[in-house]
Structure 1
C-alpha cells in the first residue's frame, strides 16, 4: 500500500546509525509511525522534510509494522520557531497536544488544518502568544470531540447570570442555581463570553479580539485544566518548561 499525503512531523526518534522513526500527523490518514531511512545523513534527501515541525508532502509505503518514508518534499519548515525560545516552547506544546489528540490512522482534517495554521500564525507573531494558545486549545479540544458548553447551564440549560462556574468534569458552564452541587471555578459572564469568542474567532483575526492579560491568564488555566480532564495524557514537559519561562 502506497500513501501520498501532506503531513506534519510531530516526533522523531533515532534508529540505527542513519535512520529515524517519525510520528507524522497526516492530513488524509491521521497519525502514523514511519521509518525514514538515511534521514540522519547530513546530505540525505530526506533530511529537510523529516524534521520536527516540518510540513511535507510524503510518499509512504506500508510495511509490516511501520510505514517507510520514500519521499518527503518540504512545504513549510517553520524553522523560524527555533530562533525564539518562547515560540519554540509554545510550538512544542502545540504539537505535543496534537500528538495526544490525534488518532492512529484516523483522519481529522479540521485538527490538521488547525495545527498548520497555528504554527504559521505563531511563526509570524511578536506578541500575544498566550492568546493564540488559548484560541488553539479551545478549537483543538472541540475538534477532538469535547467542545465546552458555554451558552447556557450544562446542567439545567437555563440562561447564565452575571457569574457562573466553569466545570471541566461537567463539560462547561454551570449557573448559580445549580453550582452548589458541582466542582468548578467561579468566573464572570464576561470571561465566559471571551472564551466563546476565542473558540470561534479565525486565527488570522486574533488582533481584533481585545482581551486583558488577567482575563487570558484565567482562561488559559481553565482551558488547560479542561483539556487535561478530557485526554489521556496528563504530563507535558513542554508545558512545564513554558511555565518556568513565564515565572
Structure 2
C-alpha cells in the first residue's frame, strides 16, 4: 500500500553499502520506519530528505514491517540546526525522546506539530532550554507520566509547594517535605513556569527571558523526573551536557 505523509526525520541508520533506514515521526501515521534505497549515494534523490530534522512530504510503500521510501519533497531542511552544534544537540535530544518513547505507529498530529514548531523555534534562536523543557512535558504527558504540579502530591494541599519530589511524582508542600528529604527545592518562579509550560502551544511561543538560577532549577527538576520515571540513558542529552560544560570558543 502506498502512503503519503508529512514527516520529520528523527534518525537514520546506514544499511548496506548505499542505503539508509529512516525513522520518521509522521502527522498521519505516527512513528514509522522506511528504507531509503541509495540514499547514501552522492546523486541520490532521497539523500537530502533523509537527513536528521528534515521535514517534508514522504511517499512510501508498505505492506508490513519496514516500508520502502519512494519519493520525498522537502518542506524545511533545517540547515540552521545541523550547522550549529549546540542547536543540533538540543534538536537531537527532542528527536531521541520521540524515537525512544514511542512505539511504531504511536504519535499524533498534535505531537508532530509541536515537534515541528520546537525545531523551528530553536533554529530561530528562541531559548533552546525552555523549548526543550516544554517539549519534555509534552512527552511526559503523552507517556502518561505527567507530574502533579497544582497541588501537593502527598496531602493535596494547594497552599504552594516548597519542593519537587521526582520519586513521589510532583510538588510537596512545606508540611510534607519530610516525605522526600531528597526533593529538589522549588522556587516560586520555577513552579509558575512549570505550570505555564503544560498549556503552552510551542507554535505560539514568543520571546522568553528566564533568569539563569530559575533555569537551573527547571533543569534539575525535569532531568531528575525524566530519569526516575522514564529511565533512559539519553545519548543526545549526554552530548548536550558535554557541549554545555565545554562550550566552543
Asked whether the two chains share a fold, i.e. TM above 0.5, the reply is: yes
Match status 1:80 vs 2:89: no
CA shift, 1:144, in A, is 3.0
Alignment of 1:63-212 (within 5 A): 63-125=63-125, 128-161=127-160, 163-182=161-180, 183-203=182-202, 204-207=204-207, 209-212=208-211
Match status 1:47 vs 2:53: no
2:22 is aligned to: 22
Superposition RMSD on alpha carbons, in Å? Answer: 1.9
Distance 2:119 2:176 in 1: 40
Distance 2:186 2:36 in 1: 49
Aligned residue pairs, count: 243
1:3 is aligned to: 3
CA shift, 1:123, in A, is 0.7
- Shift in CA distance, 113/185, structure 1 to aligned 2, threshold 3 Å: same
Residue deviations 1:104-129, cap 9 Å, x none?
1123222211111000111111x632
Look up the SS of the partner of 2:221 in the other structure. Answer: helix
Look up the SS of the partner of 2:222 in the other structure. Answer: helix
Residue deviations 1:125-184, cap 9 Å, x none?
1x63222222222233223322221111122211133x4221222221121222312352
TM-score (norm 1): 0.90
Contact 1:11–1:23, Cα closer than 8 Å, also in 2? yes
Distance 2:109 2:86 in 1: 27
TM-score (norm 2): 0.89
Distance 1:140 1:16 in 2: 33
Structure 1: runs of 5 or more not aligned:
none
- Shift in CA distance, 57/148, structure 1 to aligned 2, threshold 3 Å: same
Structure 2: runs of 5 or more not aligned:
none
- Shift in CA distance, 243/107, structure 1 to aligned 2, threshold 3 Å: closer
**Which of 233, 237, 241 lines up with 2:235 in the alignment?**
237
Distance 1:227 1:100 in 2: 13
Residue deviations 1:181-209, cap 9 Å, x none?
235212133321121123323434342x4
Contact 1:36–1:46, Cα closer than 8 Å, also in 2? yes
Give the stretch that moved more between structures: 196-205 or 114-123: 196-205
Give the stretch that moved more between structures: 184-193 or 50-59: 184-193
Distance 1:78 1:216 in 2: 26
